[in-house]
Amino acid sequence: MPRDSGELDAALVGLLQGDAALTALQPDGVWLDDVPPGAQRFVMVAVLEATDGATFGAGRAFEVVRYRVTAVGHTAVVTGPEIRAAALRIDTLLQDAALTVGGYPAGVTIARLGRVRLLEVDDEDRSLRWYHRGGVYELFAPN
């Protein structure tokens, strides 16, 4: 029976959600794929790419998942230094993390491939901006 790859997403999101320091910096939560309306200071997680490594006999031997993990904040409620601190907290939690994940007895490891930093103009008020800071993280999961 194949492993439930959704457990990988849940483990990464759960790690971020369970950190009080990150919650204090980004109080609107950690979200995968979508963010609720009204959120202005949150962590966004998105799966950029997921590939499987296959071998003869064993079938799927491992999974490699690349996530974009960014602290997102609206300039109405957050400053650049605060978003920077949130991105650093994300990196502290994820860089070289070794997680225990249900259904993956060998555990998983995470490392950053590169960082993300961009400024987005607000659609409704062009005098305001959205900060996005964080990184692209690669999760390696032996099956």
Partner 1 sequence: MAILTGRYGSVMYTPGTPPGGVEAEIISLNAWKADFSADYEDVTAFGDTNKVYVPGLPDVSGSLGGFWNSAELTLFHAAVATVPGTLKLTPNKNEATFFWEGLAYIDASIDCTLAVPKVSGNFKAAGPWTGPDGNVL
Question: Cβ contacts of residue 108 below 8 Å, gap of 6+?
Answer: 8, 11, 98, 99, 101, 139, 140, 141, 142
Residue 61 interacts with partner 1 (CB under 8 A)? yes
Q: Does 62 interact with partner 1 (rule: CB under 8 A)?
A: yes
Question: Is 48 one of the binding residues for partner 1 (CB under 8 A)?
Answer: no
Stretch of 4-12, 22-30, 40-48, 60-68 lying at the interface with partner 1 (CB under 8 A):
60-68
For the bound state, the minimum distance from the C-beta of residue 3 to partner 1, rounded and expressed in Å, comes to 17
Interface residue with partner 1 among 6, 18, 27, 59 (CB under 8 A) is 59
Q: Which stretch binds partner 1 (CB under 8 A): 53-61, 67-75, 86-94, 126-134?
A: 53-61
Task: Name 50's bridge partners.
Answer: 65
Residues contributing to the site for partner 1 (CB under 8 A): 53-59, 61-62, 64, 140
